Structure 1
């Protein structure tokens, strides 16, 4: 069951990436990021208020919120710091790079998660999983070759390093999620609510320094419907992802790889919508990544 939940998370993540590309075009990254996280937080907050005022109804429908200690709040705050850093880097890269380059590099995340899962959680991969992960990484390297044809030098482009850093931090957060959900027994909605809350506080501090004091930057900001869509779609994806993690049989290394199937939406549909170059050539490494994901599922 947890694998199907992972595929649902991938579906919403793919749609989330398309909307995110639309939201950042011609916009400052930090206010867009604050808007997306805030819209997601308001979406979850509706259920939080329902649970507070109608606890029995909420419990019957499976969205009760746990009472947690200050120590648990501290653990969630650490996750917010990790993901806020990852998002800042990812949004900056997405603003300056084609979505058909950014998304495949992000697909290397399962490799970092794969290594961490073996070292930290002692998850044991089999031969098919080894082949699948190696195939994913090799396919990402093929994307770098295609990216150079679009004028993107992978060695000297700072936005490439930014998306690699975002990918590493995102993978670290994925490993941390397993600890929060399985070892601290946090349910999805509780984790989502407080995670968004602390992430908003972190972003407000950044914006107070980099954006709010500058009138020209504020005037240049363009609000788009996609900003709200990004937040809501991300919360939907996270909910199914955390629900999958609640299963004691769920392997974070496999779940992380399953989520990478989102790139079908980003590369195929995104390439058409944003009219990016070399779409046909990108289908070759795309097939490699999908084969890798299939091998992991098959295993």
Structure 2
């Protein structure tokens, strides 16, 4: 069951990435990020109000957000700080790079998660899982060659370095999620709500320095329908992902790889919508990544 939940998370993540590319075009990254996270938080706020004033109703409808000790809030704040840094780097890179380059690089996340799952949680991959893992990494390397044809030097371009750093931080957060869900027993909806709350606080501090004081930047900002859509789609993806992690048999290394199937939407649909270059050539490493995911699932 947890694998199917992982595939649902991948579907919503793919749609989320398309909306995110639309949201950041010609816009400042920080206010867009605040708008997306704020939209997701606003979507969840009625659940929190119901949990406070109508707890029995919230519990019976599976929308209950638990109260927690301050210590648990501290653990969630750490996750929020990690993901805020990852998103800031990823949004900046997405603004300057094609989605058909950014998304496959993000698909290298399972590499870091794979290593962490072995060292930290003692998850043990079998032969097919190793084959799938290295096939994904090799396919991502092929994308770097295609990227050079679009004027992107993977060794010197700072936005490539930004998306790689964002991928590493995102993978670290994924490993941390297993600790929060399986070891601290934080409910998925509770984790998502407070995670959004603390990310908003972090972004407000950054924006108070970099954006709010400057009238020209505020006037240049363009609100788009895709901004709230990003937030809501991300909450849906996180919910199914965390529900999958609740299963004691769920392996974080496999869930991380399953989520990479989101690139089907990003490369095939996104490449057409945003009219990006070399779409056919990108299908070759795309097929390699999907084959790698298949090996991991089949194993």
TM-score (norm. length: structure 2): 0.99
Of the structure 1 ranges 232-241 and 66-75, higher mean CA displacement relative to structure 2 is found in: 66-75
Q: Distance in 2 between matches of 1:40 and 1:182?
A: 24
Query: 1:192 aligns to what?
Result: 192
Query: 2:274 aligns to what?
Result: 274
Q: Distance in 1 between matches of 2:149 and 2:247?
A: 44
Give the alignment's Cα RMSD to 1 decimal: 0.5
Q: Distance in 1 between matches of 2:64 and 2:185?
A: 13
Query: 1:103 aligns to what?
Result: 103
Query: 1:85 aligns to what?
Result: 85
Query: 1:294 aligns to what?
Result: 294
Query: 1:126 aligns to what?
Result: 126
Instruction: Indicate whether 1:163 and 2:143 are aligned.
Output: no
Structure 1 residue runs without a partner (length 5+): none
Instruction: Indicate whether 1:27 and 2:27 are aligned.
Output: yes
Correspondences of 1:141-160 after superposition (within 5 Å) = 141-160=141-160
Check conservation: 2:180, 2:186, Cα contact below 8 A.
yes
TM-score (norm. length: structure 1): 0.99
Check conservation: 2:51, 2:66, Cα contact below 8 A.
no
Q: Distance in 2 between matches of 1:61 and 1:111?
A: 38
Query: 1:176 aligns to what?
Result: 176
Q: Distance in 1 between matches of 2:104 and 2:48?
A: 35
Q: Distance in 2 between matches of 1:86 and 1:155?
A: 20
Query: 1:112 aligns to what?
Result: 112
Q: Distance in 2 between matches of 1:276 and 1:289?
A: 20
Q: Distance in 2 between matches of 1:144 and 1:273?
A: 22
Check conservation: 2:139, 2:288, Cα contact below 8 A.
yes
**How far off its partner does 1:245 sit?**
0.3
Report SS of the residue matched to 2:38: helix
Query: 1:18 aligns to what?
Result: 18
**How far off its partner does 1:47 sit?**
1.3
Report SS of the residue matched to 1:213: coil
Q: Distance in 2 between matches of 1:284 and 1:53?
A: 54
Instruction: Indicate whether 1:69 and 2:50 are aligned.
Output: no
Structure 2 residue runs without a partner (length 5+): none
**How far off its partner does 1:51 sit?**
2.1
Query: 1:259 aligns to what?
Result: 259
Q: Distance in 2 between matches of 1:262 and 1:45?
A: 27
